[in-house]
Amino acid sequence: MPTRTAAQRREEAARAYDAFIAVCPTRQLVDRISDKWVTLVLCALGDGPKRYSDLSRRIAGVSQKMLTQTLRSLERDGLVVREVTPSVPVRVDYELTPLGTTLMPLIAAIKTWAETHMDEVATSREAYDAVAAR
């Protein structure tokens, strides 16, 4: 009889796998929200559908290339839907899918942590830099 049960060994293996193998789902999700604009786009879509031009206006500083690229990847991941109205000129709306919506509480949690603790981080940075400057 081993010192660890099969369940314990499985759990350890799963933890190791989940955390450190490149193909783990967590890694992929982190890569996803890592993108500079993904969070901002999801945030902008959080309170309802938006037109392409609305998004580009709301997310100041985004280039047309990056906005399109971000929207495409989100569409590919099934997090947003793209709806084209073939009028003249064309009208394109983007909307969160149900799956994309389930991601919003996560964004909210990140936001909450940030608003609660980022001042501590800022303080720590100043202290660190002050020492490094000497």
Partner DNA sequence: CGGAATCCATAAGGATACTG
Partner DNA sequence: CAGTATCCTTATGGATTCCG
For residue 78, the minimal CB distance to a copy of itself (Å) is 3
Amino acid symbol at 132: A
Residue partners of 51: CB distance under 8 A and separation at least 6: 91, 92, 93, 94
DSSP type of residue 105 = H
Give whichever of 85 and 121 is closer to a copy of itself, judged by the CB atom: 121
Give whichever of 77 and 93 is closer to a copy of itself, judged by the CB atom: 77
Give which of a copy of itself, DNA, none residue 123 binds (C-beta under 5 to 8 Å, depending on kind): a copy of itself
Give which of DNA, a copy of itself, none residue 82 binds (C-beta under 5 to 8 Å, depending on kind): DNA
Give whichever of 68 and 102 is closer to DNA, judged by the CB atom: 68
Site for DNA, rule CB under 7 A:
10, 35-36, 51-53, 61-66, 68, 71-72, 82, 89-92
Where helices occur in the chain by DSSP H, the ranges are: 6-20, 25-34, 38-45, 52-58, 64-76, 98-101, 104-133
The radius of gyration computed from the CA coordinates of the chain, to the nearest angstrom, equals 21
Give whichever of 60 and 105 is closer to DNA, judged by the CB atom: 60
For residue 104, the minimal CB distance to a copy of itself (Å) is 11
Q: What is the largest CA-CA distance in the chain?
A: 74
